[in-house]
Chains A and B, each alone.
Chain A
Amino acid sequence: MHSVSSSIAPTTHGADNLDDPGKNAGKLTTRRGPSLIQRSFGPAGHIWVHIVLCLYAVIALFPIALILINSVKSRQAIFDNPLAFPSVETFSLIGFHKVLSNTNFLLYFGNSLIVTLGSLLLIVLFGAMAGWALSEYKFRGNRLMTLFMAIGIMIPIRLGTVSILQLVVALDLINTRTALILVYTAQGLPLAVMILSEFIRQIPTELKDAARCDGVGEFKIFFQVILPLIRPAIATVAVFTMIPAWNDLWFPLILAPGDQTKTVTLGVQQFIGQYATDWNSVLAALSMAVIPILILYTLFSRQLIRGLTAGAVK
């Protein structure tokens, strides 16, 4: 369990250094005199490394690219030549028109956004409060409480679905986004508490002690000193809580299948189930689910991967 989190700051630096190929590459090659191959690929012997990685990158990206390319083609062209790029004659947006006119796609998208951002907000705020309490104060039951929260990291929340459904029905929250937000918050909190308490522990004691000497109350210390300082750890928490929540099919299917509260994942799943034979629509629906993620990933991949590696190192 210790291997997730801890020492967030040092590893991010490490990642940056190793990522800069120029810095380390020279050392090895200059001794022997760099050949043309070495200059263009890094140290010799890296050519096969590039071949393997290129090959795997193609395997990883090809299926997604294939869907995107064919989503803007006419039905005829999709079947005649699936591997070709769309040309002027074969270009068609009919699939997208159908998806937009037959579903509330934008509504589903909004639902997914509200649910994931809502749970992220609660997870970060409540997770930081609990993480602060567990790492800062000595009290009876501290270890027990830490262990109680930690159990949720390993045991999947899905196993409690039967009772969660009963609870949600009893609270009259069925078919609401609130139900999903609460469940995803409960799902994300254990790991967030651990990551954040580990992070808060690294904040210099002097900061808090100085504030305490000035007679500042504990709440003010937390909200005005500590909370602004945890910003770097939010990326890590976001990666581990938002992606599973956005992609989840299980809880939207069970707790909020109504049309007004459907998330994108569930919406796409049901749309494709209905329109399985309409290839234009299916390809367009898949593309519409992929494109927003692609854009976000292009913008934030650095922060995302840094958050991921920072949270993973022992």
Chain B
Amino acid sequence: MKTARPWHIVVFLAPAVIIYSLFSALPLLDTLRLGFYTANDAGVHSFVGLDNYRTILFDADWSTAFWNAMWNNVKFFCIHMLLQNPIGLLLATLFSLKGLRGARTYRTLIFLPTLLSVVIIGFIWQLIISPLWGVGEKLMTLVGLGDYFAPFLGQESTALFTLSLISVWQYIGIPMMLIYAALLAVPEEVLEAAHAEGASAMRIFWQIKLPLIWPTLGLVTILTFVANFNAFDLIYSVKGALAGPNYSSDLLGTFFYRTFFGYQAQVGSPTMGAAVATLMFLVILAGVGTYFYLVQRKLTRYEL
């Protein structure tokens, strides 16, 4: 590092810092502030302390809607953790097996859905499982599950789960690639030594590869967490802002959108919206905070 006259540094930093502050950091802070205000019809803001939060968390209608969205979001996240990340890990492990032919082709093909917009993916699956078209039913009959076919997206009991599966199907490429990259970084000598000692592929995976990629699995977890608790596009394009049927697929993102812009009879409110965004921020912050706390502890333990 070199000590230079500060005006160089200012000029180099200014554009990035100004755009980032103006359109990301300050709006976030301002949103946290707005959550404590309310606006009258004339648009004049007045400070109301924790009133907005009291309404969201304790008013009968609001709290039902909020906790429904929160609980759905937790389920949404759990399904991703139970399916997306383990399958991603499995696929990445298979790609990185030594001497596998066509590994690059598989990787390229399987990654494709991740590139496409959630909106497109949502519509594609909506068509496929639509009873009107019947492709889904036909395919399920083909594998002997025809009797179980139902309008999955239209039923309260299955809508959220189906949407979660669509999201898992699309985003599997992200954990897959992150884990794949981590597996590539496992030192070749270690694997060769283990192989020479006669360790089986299974044992090499569980006892060498897996412990070495723990940090990446941690990263995948927190990225999934942040993305899931911020999800909106899929639900909005498939089920609309009302996240039906009967709010059964409502997530915090769609709840935030409805609060902010209004829907049906309810008028939208920027300040209530800001309060919902603040609650989402706290959830995400708690997740990220836990992640860094654990990572930090892990690192210091390794150093000892």
* A-to-B contact residues, CB < 8 Å: 1, 3-4, 11, 14-15, 18-19, 21, 24-25, 27-29, 41-43, 45-46, 49-50, 52-54, 56-57, 59-61, 63-64, 66-67, 78-79, 82-83, 122, 125-127, 129-130, 132-139, 145, 148-149, 151-152, 154-167, 182-183, 185-187, 189-190, 193, 212, 218-219, 222, 243, 246-250, 253, 264-265, 268-269, 272, 279, 282-283, 286, 289-290, 293-294, 297, 301, 305, 308-310, 312-314
Contact = CB atoms under 8 A, between A and B. Distances in A.
A133 B3 CA distance: 11
8 contacts: A42-B99, A56-B87, A136-B1, A137-B9, A159-B230, A185-B19, A312-B178, A314-B182
Nearest to B24: A186
A307 to B, nearest CB: 10
B199 interface: no
A64 B113 contact: yes
A19 B104 contact: yes
B184 A11 contact: yes
Contacts of A310: 181
B34 A305 contact: no
A125 B233 CA distance: 29
B23 interface: yes
B44 interface: no
Contact of A41 (B101, B118, B123, B270): B101
A15 B184 contact: yes
A160 to B, nearest CB: 3
Contacts of A167: 22-23, 27
A158 B276 CA distance: 12
A67 B281 contact: no
B120 to A, nearest CB: 5
A98 to B, nearest CB: 16
Contacts of B47: none
B127 to A, nearest CB: 7
B77 interface: no
A151 B98 CA distance: 38
Contacts of A54: 106
B118 A25 contact: no
B185 A313 contact: yes
B244 interface: no
Contacts of A25: 98-99, 101
A129 B25 contact: no
B125 A63 contact: yes
Given A3-B216, A182-B23, A18 B98 contact: yes
A135 B222 CA distance: 26
B290 to A, nearest CB: 12
A154 B226 contact: yes
Interface in B44-83: none
Contacts of B118: 247, 249
Contacts of B184: 11, 14-15, 18, 309, 313
